[in-house]
Amino acid sequence: LPVLAIDIGGSKIAIAEVSGGSVANRRQAPTPRTGRGDDLIAAIAELAPDGGFGAVAVATTGIVRDGALTALNPQTLPIEDGYPLASAIERAFGTPPLVVNDAQAAAWAEFTLGAGKGVRNFAFFTVSTGIGCGLVVDGRLESGATGLAGHVGHTRSGPGGILCGCGRHGCLETVASGTALARLGSERLGRKVAAPDVFSAATGGNSVATKIIASAVDALVNGFADLTASVDVDCFAIGGGVGLAPGFIEALRVRSLDLPRIFQRPIVAAQAGADAGLLGAAMLARLRR
């Protein structure tokens, strides 16, 4: 029987059946951003098939600790602190799920069968509503005792930055996430825009938009270099709506060539694309059994 895989992001929830590394019957809906975990469960129940699956696996934005979900940045997903996601899913589907952070799940999928195959230390970054990161070190997926491992989106991109939803100032996520691009674009272009509008303005030659994207790229590449200095990352894979926007990965690569040579590492697109979180969670659920 396939694994029922669920990916809860800051903007959308995706559900699919995963078997043997492939994804079928993918459905998605907007994430209810009401601040109530029970509303997430209701949205999931609406998308899910009635049965016919052997296990349930959940990848979710936010910090996962013992099956409970807490937002590190409530602006990425508002939710009660320590929402008992695993037990709520178990109640809805009658089976205890595996629950893992979305970027950690995607990192595992890419390491096992995608862009990170065969490397020693690997990092997957999703540049999306927020900025997520999953780390595989010496072949082991890192989550840490409190689930915080890999939250590089909340390392500091520079002094004097704005207040992040996590409570720190100047986090990478405040300059390079989809949320940040929309905010900076709206402030500086003088009209309300979303992240894709900033990209199309830049493509159309708007210098303000071009600068916003260049700063995001610069912040990310320096974040990669910091992480490389910490755990000697062999390869970076990129996913997420912003990360996979046309030209973005190429811009990261070009900018990374300005780094001292020892910090330059391959930067590639996630092979599983938007399905990496679903696949990784399903694979981790299979491993657990």
- Residues in contact with Zn ion by CB under 5 A are 154, 164, 166, 168, 171
Closer residue to ligand BMX, CB minimum distance, 85 or 249: 85
SS3 177: coil
Task: Give per-residue burial for 118-147: e unless 16+ CB within 10 Å, then b.
Answer: ebebbbbbbbbbbbbbbbbbeeebbbeeeb
Minimum CB distance to Zn ion, residue 155 (Å): 8
Residue type for position 205: G
Taking residues 56 to 95 in sequence order and writing x for each that binds ligand BMX by CB under 6 A, - otherwise, the string is -----xxx-------xxx--xx------------------
Partner from Zn ion, ligand BMX, none binding residue 143, C-beta < 5-8 Å depending on class: none
Cβ atoms of residues 111 and 104 within 8 Å:
no
Closer residue to Zn ion, CB minimum distance, 171 or 217: 171
CB atoms closer than 10 angstroms to residue 247: 12
- Residue 122 to residue 137: CA distance in whole angstroms: 7
- Cβ within 8 Å of residue 180, ≥6 positions away: 173, 174, 216
Should residue 103 be labelled a site residue for ligand BMX when binding is judged by CB under 6 A?
yes
Q: Which region holds residue 235: left if phi is over 0, alpha if psi is between -120 and 50, else beta?
A: beta
Cβ atoms of residues 137 and 123 within 8 Å:
no
Closer residue to Zn ion, CB minimum distance, 105 or 166: 166
Taking residues 176 to 205 in sequence order and writing x for each that binds ligand BMX by CB under 6 A, - otherwise, the string is ------------------------------
Q: Is the dihedral of CA 193, 199, 202, 203 positive or negative?
A: negative
Q: Tell me the window of 14-22, 98-106, 207-215, 229-237 that interacts with ligand BMX (CB under 6 A).
A: 98-106
- Residue 181 to residue 189: CA distance in whole angstroms: 11
Closer residue to Zn ion, CB minimum distance, 164 or 251: 164
Partner from Zn ion, ligand BMX, none binding residue 171, C-beta < 5-8 Å depending on class: Zn ion
Tokens of 142: 């890192």
- Residue 24 to residue 22: CA distance in whole angstroms: 7
Among 126, 157, 228, 256, binds ligand BMX (CB under 6 A): 126
Closer residue to ligand BMX, CB minimum distance, 72 or 251: 72
Should residue 110 be labelled a site residue for ligand BMX when binding is judged by CB under 6 A?
no
CB atoms closer than 10 angstroms to residue 205: 8
Residue type for position 261: R
Minimum CB distance to ligand BMX, residue 190 (Å): 26
Should residue 243 be labelled a site residue for ligand BMX when binding is judged by CB under 6 A?
no
Should residue 129 be labelled a site residue for ligand BMX when binding is judged by CB under 6 A?
yes
Among 18, 23, 101, 272, binds ligand BMX (CB under 6 A): 101
Residues shown for the chain: 289
Tokens of 94: 């009658």
Closer residue to ligand BMX, CB minimum distance, 71 or 141: 71
Closer residue to ligand BMX, CB minimum distance, 61 or 143: 61
Number of residues lying near ligand BMX (CB under 6 A): 21
Partner from ligand BMX, Zn ion, none binding residue 55, C-beta < 5-8 Å depending on class: none
Instruction: Starting at the earlier edge strand, list the strands of the sheet with 3-8.
Output: 22-30, 12-19, 3-8, 55-60, 98-101
What is the contact surface with ligand BMX in residues (CB under 6 A)? 9-10, 61-63, 71-73, 76-77, 101-103, 126, 128-132, 153, 173
